[in-house]
Amino acid sequence: METIITRFPPSPTGYLHVGGARTALFNWLYARQNHGKFVLRIEDTDTVRSTQASVDAIFDAMRWLELDWDEGPYFQTQRFDIYRTYLQKLLDSGDAYYCTCSPEDVEAMRQKAMATGAKPKYDGRCRERGLPPSPNAVIRFKSPLSGTTVVEDVIKGNIVFQNREQDDFVICRSDGTPTYNFVVVVDDITMGINTIIRGDDHVMNTPKQILLYKALKAPLPVFGHVPMVLGKDKARLSKRHGAMSVTAYRDMGFLPDAFLNYLARLGWSHGDQEFFTRQELIEKFSLKNIGRSPGVFDVDKLTALNADHIRATPVGQLAPRVLPFMRQKGYDAADDAYLVGVIGTLHARSKTLVEMADGAHFYYREDVRPYDEKAARKFLKPAVAPVLTMLAEALEALPDLAEKTQEAAFKQVMEKAGLGFGKIAQPVRVALTGTSVSPGIFEMIAVLGKARVLARLKAAGEYIQSLEST
């Protein structure tokens, strides 16, 4: 059985966006599922717009998504000798020719054709002239004048193009640089690419590329054109919909596996299943289940799915991912047992890693004062001070801070004070965190440790006393 070889060929003229990342994912999944190869190729022949910064951004995004490649990265600008060899093959076989028509001449041909209701295209003036190479000459591909070219698309079905409507398109410019459709075909032939999954904005290029394959006597790859990704308003995805750099989502605290899960579901399905691990995507992905309708990108749905992935990820694996966000906020955090404990109290209620880091603030502050004004006014009242003192004494006497042990201490204080758990828990929560919203009291106390808890209970008592003396 032939080894499946797919590729992802981004142009380094900007960042890697959502649509490009989904294309990369589909090719990667198909290669991994079939134990094939995934090739990364940088299509940088547009030397005016291509930048090293964009190349670096693409690599950065691919590494964050953990879409590893088996071959490459190849750069088209380093392959010009190969392209020249294949240009000569087409010239020698009579499938290409030199053309000296100026851009103005070609534009006049197109205007003339439009005036008669014909398709605007080059009229083949130099097609049979047998011109030699010259400084101003381009090389054109000699397209067939009759018949049809059929794109056998595994996603969209067969698409038929009339050859008479095809242009004798340029495959090499007068400055010697080959054009997109030509170099793509040469690259795919020489790299052994046999499965091409790409956006359906490439459909109109495909008949030209098929003609080049046939002229070069190379086997055709499998083609599959994926529908576009749209915004919630069904318009083409733009920055206002969330069409940012893929790495922007990393910086917003999304997990790579959650992002890939969401991308996969933009146009592909497996029954009613929404949540997929990376391994499940590899096992269940198939070209036949890619739909023909555009996917709709919804940041709210991505966020909800990210929350599911955070909850499903072992806290030890979350630690190195959340640590950079902790440090960005100035916390003296380390990838240690304390951080794992902190995450254990927060991950079930966090939608993003940024939100988790925000929620961890009280774990890394020496002093949680000043307290939230509304919470302090409501819960840190004079009658609470002796209760906090009693609780501090009860906790200090405990051999450990296991939840069962804590429960006994709280029951002891509740009985002495004649108060229910809620009447004690909320003042304690404000004393320990500075706010009235936090993880569960017992799990939070267990992570903070006895020294921090006692110091904060004492500080809250002093705060209440200071109010009484004013």
CA 413 to chain centre: 51
Say if CB 368 and CB 457 are below 8 A apart.
no
Q: What is the three-class DSSP state of 149?
A: strand
Of the candidates 27, 24, 19, 21, the residue with the CA atom closest to the CA atom of residue 228: 19
- C-alpha dihedral, 194 to 195 to 201 to 202, nearest 10°: 10
Q: Which sequence positions are flagged as catalytic?
A: 239
The pLDDT assigned to 131 comes to: 97
pLDDT, tens digit, 9 for 90 and up, residues 1-39: 799 999 999 999 999 999 999 999 999 999 999 999 999
Q: The whole model's pTM is what?
A: 0.92
- Rounded to 10 deg, the angle between the 52-65 and 256-264 helix axes is 90
| pLDDT score recorded for residue 233 | 77
Would you call the peptide bond into 370 cis, given omega within 30 degrees of 0 as the criterion? Answer: yes
Tens-digit pLDDT profile for residues 246-295: 999 999 999 999 999 999 999 999 999 999 999 999 999 999 999 999 98
CA-nearest of 55, 3, 74, 11 to 32 is: 3
Does residue 73 have a cis peptide bond before it, meaning omega lies within 30 degrees of 0? Answer: yes
> Could you tell me if 311 and 347 are in contact, meaning their C-beta atoms sit under 8 angstroms apart?
yes
Residue 205 is predicted with a pLDDT of 97
What confidence score (pLDDT) does residue 232 get? 79
| Amino acid type, 124 | G
Residue type, 84: R
State the Cα–Cα distance between residues 306 and 312, nearest whole angstrom. 10
Select from 392, 371, 377, 370 the least CA-distant residue to 452.
Answer: 392
pLDDT of residue 470: 61
Which positions ≥6 away from 166 have C-beta within 8 Å? 121, 143, 144, 149, 207, 208, 211
Stretches in the chain below the pLDDT threshold 70: 238-243, 469-470
pLDDT of residue 48: 87
What confidence score (pLDDT) does residue 238 get?
Answer: 61
310: exposed, middle or buried (C-beta count within 10 Å: 0-12, 13-18, 19+)? buried
Residue matched to tokens 């933009």: 266
Angle between helices 52-65 and 18-33 (to 10 degrees): 50
Domain annotation for the chain: domains and CATH numbers: 239-312 (1.10.1160.10), 315-363 (1.10.8), 373-468 (1.10.10.350)
Q: How far apart are alpha carbons 6 and 36 in whole angstroms? A: 8
Q: State the pLDDT at residue 1.
A: 74
Question: How many beta carbons lie within 10 A of that of residue 178, not counting itself?
Answer: 23
pLDDT at 243: 56
